[in-house]
Structure 1
Amino acid sequence: MQVSVEARQHAQALLDFIDQSPSPWHAVENVANQLKAHGFKNLRENEPWQFKKGGKYFVIRDGGSIIAFALGQAALAESGFRILGAHTDSPGLRLKPKAAYSTEGLAQLGVEVYGGPILATFTDRDLSLAGRVVIHTEQGLQSRLIRIDQAVARLPNLAIHMNREVNEKGLVLNKQTGLPLIFGHAANSDTAKQLLNETLAGKLAIPASLIVSWDLAFYDIQKGSFWGLEQEFIADSQLDNLASCHAGLEALLSSETPQATAICALFDHEEVGSESATGAGGSFLLDVIERICHSTGLTQEDKLRSFANSFFISADMAHAFHPNHAGSYEPCHHVHVNHGPVIKTNANQRYSTNAVTAARFIQLCDKAGAPYQQYTHRTDLGCGSTIGPIMAAQLGIATVDVGNPMWAMHSIRESAGVLDHAAMIAVLKQHFLA
């Protein structure tokens, strides 16, 4: 399979982005840094907004969600918005507020399952902590990003001699008793708590007494990689859905003078239902759109006209055909890695796609010279959902659900195709410039 230099460069940039973004808060910081480097101005929700014609801006809500936009050259009421939505969070294990304790001299960390990860894939991996810690300062409470680069915790498997049916029945982990991680030796729970707090404080270069609270996730310290005889595949954590975030960001940054106002909205909390202040079910995107309309002088009539002239692409990932599990897929809807972006359809509106929005996305693929595929889930299997239906209902804007094909979705180590990422960037660029 021929893989162009450009496609390989896009894939490497994606792996670098993921490796630098072990938590949603790191992902947003990295997106913000790239936006600032390309001339986007940082707005704050608690300050007045003033725009210049053709201006480029971004705003962050609570560290885990970010919306960037470039004002279009055409009249907003006539051209509408071209919106890309994706999510910054991934399923995994989150550290509990009072996590550290001791069991027979071993220091352990209590975790809570975030979203729907494949828990078995978290065993026997080099795990570390990343996220944000709130601390006392002379200026008041401040949130600091933290990332520990070395492996600090592990979830060792039980030996097969004590779990003889693991290969026949699979690894089953009780979420309460089977997931606490080992991170050191401690004679008692007070010592374990001290060990954890001093580790975090040392990384932040502060006294442990200044730590107030945290949002911390465990991540695999193994970096992303290319694989396959021709290096045509990639493997990393969080491809779902940092791959879509990266594709949307790259497309926006390369869309110099869009005619319609282009918006790239990256939300936290999709994996747990989006119902939060920073999730797609919250008011973030609508608040930003309302302020754009107000600042550009649109009447209520013009705002509604702009919505009717808009198009929303919900970009998440898609289930690639796995040859060892052919019976898990709907016949005639097998999608393949490195065969192009996927249009996802569900009659019960788990995906927002309809015939019209699918056709619009196909047109974008044709303009970009990119192949496309179509996917629907087996009727007798539960179908996952995305932010697409949420945003379509909230905004009343025509919406399509798409994504790149991948294997092992929600594993700690997912796989996808080099060619697909470059294709998605090209299609999303057409979307922003349409």
Structure 2
Amino acid sequence: MGLMFGIVLRVPTLAIHLDRQEKFEFNKETQLFPILGLISAELNKDGPTAALEGDDGKQNTEEKVEKPFSPLSAITERHHPAVVKLISEATESQPEDVLDFEMLLYDTQPGTLGGLNEEFIFSARLDNLGMTYCSIESLIASVEADDALDQEQGIRIIACFDHEEIGSQTAQGADSNLLPAVVRRLSVLSGDKDYDFASVSSTTSQASTTDHLFSPTTTYFEESLIKSFLISADMAHSVHPNYPAKYESHHRPEMNKGTVIKINANARYATNSPGIVLVQECARDAGVPLQLFVVRNDSSCGSTIGPMLSAQMGMRTLDLGNAQLSMHSIRETGGAHDVEHAIKLFKAFFQKYTALEPTIFV
């Protein structure tokens, strides 16, 4: 169950008058505590010691009631009782019914359009909810027509992963076997849209008729990987007007000028020339612009899940994303028109790939 609350916690910074360092630094262990409220007596009234106090606030001298054994200490001892009470009220339960929870703090200020002509998006988490949104919208748009899949020979997939910023090595991360496992299962399905899998799997005798599809000697999975193409869609860097020297002089993407294809000679991005040609043809069909990004030779380069998935699956891959400023800031800036650019580009990719794939020669 996911719960969302109002503005409950705040992590305040130290006033600049009290810290004259030019570089803003803080200790993650001791200086990132959020403020929940004031007046400790009020906040602690529901705490573990409340039961031992009388009406006058003095400690009771009566013997403590023995608690039943628990492998872990009570949830109100591990977390502030006020937080536990907040969760119990939101779930219409009692504090003692809350066994455990995970809490994530985020910027509560909603995203908004800005700029002279509302050409910017100011929002948290544009990286990478921006490209996630464009991917989902484009997949839906690609199948809106009644005959959208009549000539389709492949399967259109989007995969949205968690934990990319912390390494992707989780069950729901890109470095798991999630995508390969899903594609492997899909690769053995019948291409007959009228095929009744429910009836086939209803009896042992009927199920045996498809045993050959699930034989470990089949190569359907490997063949599908060779014919497939993966777009790793992750936000890209826009040229910063205050720091133009940080960018390679001939590769300075701008917001609202089209989705950015990312290239790196050290394979920090998975893009290669055949992929660029393919995406360029999709962009031509959609009528949307593209840009190229190459990091300076004397600068480090970030990476994406593109190289990771490309290595796992042996699949042709290209890295791209919409340009933005202030990546990884709590308040990022992106181009409003690039959302439409990316949706149109991905829609064309889904619709045209089956026809374009046989024309790709390396």
Shared fold (TM-score, shorter chain, > 0.5): yes
Moved more, 333-342 or 373-382: 373-382
% identity of equivalent residues: 37
TM-score, scaled relative to structure 2: 0.76
> What code does the residue aligned with 1:375 have?
F
Amino acid at match of 1:146: L
CA deviations over 1:274-318 (Å, ceiling 9, x no partner)? 111111110111111111123334873333222111110000000
Aligned residues: CA RMSD:
1.7
Match of residue 341 from structure 1 = 259
Residue number in structure 1 paired with 2:246: 328
Deviation, structure 1 residue 418: 1.1
Query: For 1:179-206, what per-residue CA distance to the aligned partner results, in whole angstroms no more than 9, with x for missing partners?
Result: 1111113248757711111112112221
Decide which of 409, 417, 426 is 2:335's aligned counterpart.
417
State the alpha-carbon separation in 2 of the partners of residues 394 and 265 from structure 1.
15
Aligned residue identity for 1:287: A
CA deviation profile, 1:105-150 (whole Å, cap 9, x unmatched): xxxxxxxxxxxxxxxxxxxxxxxxxxxxxxxxxxxxxxx11100x2
Aligned to 1:176: 29
Q: Counterparts of 1:84-95 in structure 2 under 5 Å?
A: none
Larger Rg: 2
1:241 aligns with 2:128: yes
Q: How far apart are 1:356 and its partner, in Å?
A: 1.3
2:127–2:328 CA contact under 8 A, matched in 1: yes
Q: How does 1:21-420 map to 2 (within 5 A)?
A: 144-148=1-5, 150-165=6-21, 169-185=22-38, 186-187=40-41, 190=47, 193-256=80-143, 257-258=148-149, 259=152, 260-296=154-190, 297=213, 300-420=218-338
Q: What one-letter code is carried by the residue in structure 2 that aligns with 1:161?
A: H
Q: State how far apart, in whole Å, the 1-side matches of 2:298 and 2:32 are.
A: 31
Partner of 1:93: none
AA partner of residue 304 (structure 1): E
* C-alpha deviation, 1:352, in angstroms: 0.5
Structure 2 unaligned regions, length at least 5:
49-78, 191-212, 353-362
8 Å CA contact retained: 2:233, 2:321: yes
Alpha-carbon distance in 2 for matches of 1:392, 1:300: 22
Query: 1:208-230 CA distances to partner (integer Å, 9 max, x unpaired)?
Result: 11222223211111111110111
**AA aligned opposite 1:406:** Q
Q: Residue 142 of structure 2 aligns to which amino acid in structure 1?
A: S
Write the deviation string for residues 244-272 of structure 1: whole angstroms up to 9, x where unpaired. Answer: 11111011111112412100100011111
- Cα offsets for 1:389-412 (capped at 9, x unmatched): 111011111000000000111111
What does the per-residue CA deviation read over 1:82-120, in whole Å, with 9 as the maximum and x for residues that have no partner?
xxxxxxxxxxxxxxxxxxxxxxxxxxxxxxxxxxxxxxx
Contact 2:187 2:224 in 1 (8 A): no
* Partner deviation per Cα, 1:11-62 (whole Å, 9 max, x = no partner): xxxxxxxxxxxxxxxxxxxxxxxxxxxxxxxxxxxxxxxxxxxxxxxxxxxx
> Does the 8 A contact of 2:135 with 2:346 survive in 1?
yes
What secondary structure is seen at the aligned counterpart in 2 of 1:289? helix
Q: CA deviation at 1:340?
A: 0.2
The answer as to whether partners of 2:257 and 2:338 remain within 8 angstroms in 1 is yes
What SS class does the counterpart of residue 172 from structure 1 fall into?
A: coil
- 2:188–2:220 CA contact under 8 A, matched in 1: no
Distance in 1 separating the partners of 2:242 and 2:18 = 28
Higher strand share: 1
Aligned partners of 1:213 and 1:295: how far apart in 2? 40
- What secondary structure does 1:235 align onto? strand
Read off the aligned partner of 1:155 and give its amino acid letter.
V
For these two proteins, the number of residue pairs brought into alignment is 287
What is the letter of the counterpart of residue 394 of structure 1? Q
What per-residue deviation string (whole Å, max 9, x for no partner) do you get for residues 140-182 of structure 1? xxxx11100x2111122212221123xxx23211111111111
Q: Distance in 2 between matches of 1:161 and 1:236?
A: 29
The 4+ residue runs of structure 1 with deviation greater than 6 A are none
State how far apart, in whole Å, the 2-side matches of 1:418 and 1:156 are.
31
Q: Which has the higher contact order (CA 8 A, sep 6+)?
A: 1
**1: CA distance between counterparts of 2:340 and 2:13?**
38
Q: Secondary structure at the match of 1:389?
A: helix
CA offset at residue 427 of structure 1? 0.5
